[in-house]
A = this chain, B = another copy of it.
Amino acid sequence: MSHADKRHERLRERLRERRWRITPQRRSVVEALSGPNLHLTAEEIFARARTVVPEISRATVYNTLRELVEMGELAEMQIGPGPALYDPNAVVHHHHLVCSSCGRIYDIHPLGVEHLDLREEDRDGFELQRAEVVFHGRCRACKESEDT
């Protein structure tokens, strides 16, 4: 059984524990979100969910996504303009790598994050909670198809 499958199974378990009512619609949304290194828009999730439950409405998809985000089971992120992306890999905190040429996004665990800190002159009584790092660059595939 894959890492993603295990993650998905644990998620279903947590949802059951929380007495979150699992309906066919909600299940289809949660299923649309299983898979590794996945970053989908609400519209893509809607499309996937529809292949399983054709009568599902956009409102339900948005409601379900909001609830999962509130429960901490799903991360919502905004990389540049355009629609929000949903990242099912929310339980373990991680960072992102964005290819500026194809736009693909990868989950990463960079080195040096724990040493990031504010300078004295920037601090001004601020209480740090977390740091978010986004790397931009060019992925192998885009570098190799070097046809500028």
Contacts and interface: CB of A to CB of B under 8 A. Distances in A.
B119 A140 contact: no
Contact of A133 (B79, B80, B129, B133): B133
A109 B115 contact: no
A139 interface: yes
A110 B106 contact: no
Interface in A63-79: 76, 78-79
Given A80-B78, A124-B140, A118 B129 contact: no
Contacts of A108: 118-119, 122
| Size class of the A contact interface (CB-based, 8 Å) | 35 or more
A135 B125 contact: no
A97 B122 contact: yes
Nearest to A97: B126
Contacts of A131: 133-136
A50 interface: no
Contact of A110 (B110, B117, B129, B139): B117
